[in-house]
Structure 1
Amino acid sequence: MISPFLTQRTKSKFVFAGPSRTAEILFKYISPEQVPIQYGGLSVDFCDCNPEFSMDDPATAITVRPATKQTVEIQVNEKCTIVWELRVVGWEVTYSAEYVPNAEGAYTVVIQKPKKMAPTDEPVVANSFKIGELGKIVLAIDNPTSKRKKFVYRFKVKPFCN
């Protein structure tokens, strides 16, 4: 309970959120790459967990509605290695990733077969893929639950030498 001795102005500065909405509320005030992973973000406090990313690498947060599938397409316009990391707050979704080349008649490459992710799995999934021809990476989150989920991801393109 907030003290009755606080002014209304001071009381208006407090924001309360239950466990299911913590990440959503935090992302209104703090970018996902700066929110620690235990609160739904991607910040790992400068540990060696994923040296590919730092707090300076921007992340995008998307709401995945109940009983829907959300896809993110990352266009690749050069030969490179693309690295990404993602998380879904609370998981309980199916995650998959594939590479779709632009060339007509080329085959789609499955990078990650659809995998059911539970809340007890790793909070952040990291992956990379070496690209030799132009195309796109498609990340897919299938949310079969009746609750909205927060999907946070970021990626980086790393050129490679032939």
Structure 2
Amino acid sequence: MTPRSKSKLVFAGPSRSAETLFKYISPEQVPVQYGGLSVDPCDLSLEDPASEIIVKPGTKRTVEIIIYEKCEIVWEIRVIGWEVSYKAEFVPEEKDAYTVVVQKPRKMKPSDEPVLTQSFKVNELGKVLLTVDNPTSKKKKLVYRFNVKPL
């Protein structure tokens, strides 16, 4: 093989394959079986960009999605390698209102669904909080995307 041909190839082991793919292809275009967010059928489209966050060992990271109107919000979340706890809740803007638990804290294992897709109908202003707790000694990559559909 010529040096030029070799320079066009990238090799990655199973534990680094998703991370390597994300350097060249956006997570929303990579199929689930390769560590991405692309699933069929899906309420999200390629126009809904994915975001990535690093969750350091022994820390929690929260994604905050501000809701400005009555709507239905749909999101996908994936943590490469899982082995984390995940929860989702809606916090209304009104001071006297109660927080709504959308997803109780749930320990996610690598054998669980590779991508979690959830939706929630919002009838008041507030914010959706997606929290990932990483109790392991390894950093994790959190990939998520969402879409807000007015009611």
Same fold (TM over 0.5): yes
2:100 to 97, 109, 127: 109
* Partner residue in 1 for 2:11: 16
2:131 to 123, 140, 147: 140
Residue 20 of structure 1 aligns to a residue whose secondary structure is: coil
- Which secondary structure state, in structure 1, belongs to the residue aligned with residue 16 of structure 2? helix
CA distance in 2: counterparts of 1:67 and 1:120, whole angstroms: 21
Deviation at 1:56, TM superposition (A): 3.1
Q: Which has the larger radius of gyration?
A: 1
Aligned CA RMSD, in angstroms, stands at: 1.3
Matched, 1:96 2:87: yes
Q: Among the aligned pairs, what percent are the same residue?
A: 66
Per-residue CA deviation, residues 44-97 of structure 1 (Å, 9 max, x unaligned), is 2xx33x3x1233321112221111111100000001111111111111110000
Amino acid aligned to 1:36: P
Q: Which runs of 4 or more aligned residues in structure 1 lie more than 6 Å from their structure 2 counterparts after TM superposition?
A: none
Q: Following the alignment from structure 1 to structure 2, what is the Cα–Cα distance between the partners of residues 85 and 156?
A: 9
> Which runs of 5 or more residues in structure 2 are unaligned?
none
What code does the residue aligned with 1:119 have? P
Aligned residues: 151
**C-alpha distance in 2, partners of 1:121/1:17?**
23
Could you tell me which runs of 5 or more consecutive residues in structure 1 were left unpaired when the two chains were aligned: none
Q: Spell out the pairing of 1:36-115 with structure 2 (5 A cutoff).
A: 36-44=31-39, 47-48=40-41, 50=42, 52-115=43-106
| TM-score normalised by the chain length of structure 1 | 0.87
Is the Cα–Cα contact under 8 Å of residues 44 and 74 in structure 2 kept in the other structure? no
Q: 1:119 aligned to 110, 116, 137, which one? A: 110
1:11 is paired with a residue whose SS is helix
The answer to whether residue 28 in structure 2 is matched with residue 33 in structure 1 is: yes
CA contact (8 A) 1:23 1:150 kept: no
Which deviates more, 13-22 or 105-114? 13-22
TM-score (normalizing by structure 2): 0.93
Q: Distance in 2 between matches of 1:147 and 1:66?
A: 5
Letter in 2 for 1:38: Q
Matched, 1:6 2:2: yes
Q: Secondary structure at the match of 1:19?
A: coil
* CA deviations over 1:97-155 (Å, ceiling 9, x no partner): 00011111221111111000111111111111111111000001111111121211111
